């Protein structure tokens, strides 16, 4: 995941990342410790009461489909976890480039 988040860095001023987790009640303590050890610098929401799921009943049950790329109007551009699927990863980056242009690091290498 760190590698993926590192690739997002050149887009930091134009691409926002949020994490929403729904840990089991009995796992909240260990989940918090795990998050602290990861030292992520992105907003992390811990939905302990399942509000996100209740307000978004259209979400599929398949966890692979719980990762979204949204545009500035919160319209879904892509669904799927780019960390778990190479095709989704390519689609993610193609969509980001179409919407935001080429990353600064890539421009320097062209």
* pTM reported for the whole predicted model: 0.74
Q: What is the pLDDT of residue 30?
A: 94
What integer best gives the mean pLDDT of the chain?
86
Does 106 score more than 90 pLDDT? Answer: no
Going by the DSSP 8-state scheme, the letter that residue 59 receives in this structure is S
Pairing, β 44-46 against β 19-21: parallel
**pLDDT score at 39:** 81
Per-position b or e across 78-108, b if 16+ CB within 10 A of its CB: bebbbeeeeebbebbeeebeeeeeebeeeee
Closest CA to 99 of 7, 15, 2: 15
Mean pLDDT of 43-71: 90
Q: Within 10 A of 53 (CB to CB), how many other CB atoms are there?
A: 13
Number of C-beta neighbours around residue 1 at 10 A: 9
pLDDT confidence tier of residue 105, bands split at 50, 70 and 90: low
Q: How far apart are CA 92 and CA 82, in angstroms?
A: 7
- Residue 104's pLDDT is 56
Instruction: Give tens-digit pLDDT for 23-42.
Output: 988 999 999 999 888 888 88
Tokens of 86: 């190479």
């Amino acid at each position: 995941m760190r590698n993926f988040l590192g690739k997002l860095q050149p887009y930091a001023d134009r691409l926002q990342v949020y994490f929403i987790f729904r840990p089991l009640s009995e796992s909240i303590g260990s989940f918090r410790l795990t998050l602290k050890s990861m030292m992520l610098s992105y907003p992390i929401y811990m939905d302990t009461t399942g509000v996100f799921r209740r307000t978004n009943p259209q979400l599929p049950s398949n966890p692979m489909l719980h990762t979204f790329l949204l545009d500035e109007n919160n319209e879904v551009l892509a669904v799927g976890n780019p960390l778990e699927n190479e095709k989704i990863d390519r689609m993610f980056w193609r969509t980001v480039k179409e919407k935001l242009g080429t990353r600064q690091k890539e421009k320097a290498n062209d």
